[in-house]
Structure 1
Amino acid sequence: MINRYDPLTVDLTEADRPASTAPVRSVSLYADGGQKHGVWEAEPGVHREYQGQETVVILTGRATVEGSSGITVDVGPGDLVIVDPGEKTTWTVHEKIRKVFIVNQ
């Protein structure tokens, strides 16, 4: 099967994120065997307790991503971010952000 999505316009639903200080929306487009692919969007604020191996491409917006290892990176449109297994991240969103993600749990 082949599916095509526009990650900038795909419908998202509000996510229950008690560790976030601002609204978060997402959609899972594929899930199988501990791997999930989808789109995530967050309003400016702090979004904590994201964990696991993750690969993301930033579509819009800007954020600072801080890992539990102490590494901090600033990200924006077009950036590819790879988070190692076991790393916990905090996303401080400066401008509403939208990203495509692949998470391995």
Structure 2
Amino acid sequence: MSELAPGALAPGTGVDALALPLVHEPLPADEVVIGRPTTAVHALATLGEVEVGVWEMTPGTASDVEVDEVFVVLSGHARIEFVEPALPAIEVDHGSVVRLAAGQRTVWTVTETLRKIYIA
């Protein structure tokens, strides 16, 4: 059996994704549009080339360039604007499932700290 990364789940174990403590860091200044949002990430597992984890962002607005990802929102609220390619903006909150594609340029406006499970 291969060695697990720090914080990763061992087979047959579980974690409360809503209660999992996360360590936040400020976003790079060139990504911040409004406010002083911070983000945190905790990788739970790597399955082949796919990573599964918990990600969180505090209120504020930030730009991003996405990777291939599907995520499920556990808590919070945000508006995601799709800048390139231009697509209609979406509102996400608990229970939302979203697919992002590598290279998409987005702007995230988080109004209530957003926590999600990602598969990327």
Give the alignment's TM-score, normalised by structure 1: 0.84
Could you report, residue by residue, the CA deviation over 1:66-94 in whole angstroms, capped at 9, with x for unpaired residues? 22212211111111111123323221101
Superposition deviation, residue 102 in structure 1: 0.9
Deviating 4+ runs (over 6 angstroms):
none
Higher RCO (Cα < 8 Å, 6 or more apart): 1
- Fraction of identical pairs, as percent: 29
Give the alignment's TM-score, normalised by structure 2: 0.74
The residue that corresponds to 2:54 in the other structure is: 39
The change in CA–CA distance for 1:69 and 1:53 in structure 2 (over 3 A counts) is same
Structure 2 distance, partners of 1:92, 1:2, is: 36
Unaligned runs of 5+ in 2: 1-10
Asked if 1 retains the 8 angstrom alpha-carbon contact of 2:37 and 2:61, the reply is yes
The residue that corresponds to 2:27 in the other structure is: 17
Superposition deviation, residue 33 in structure 1: 4.4
Superposition deviation, residue 11 in structure 1: 1.8
The change in CA–CA distance for 1:7 and 1:52 in structure 2 (over 3 A counts) is same
Q: How many residues get paired?
A: 103
Q: Decide which structure has the larger Cα Rg and report it.
A: 2
Unaligned runs of 5+ in 1: none
CA RMSD of aligned residues (A): 1.8
Letter in 1 for 2:55: W
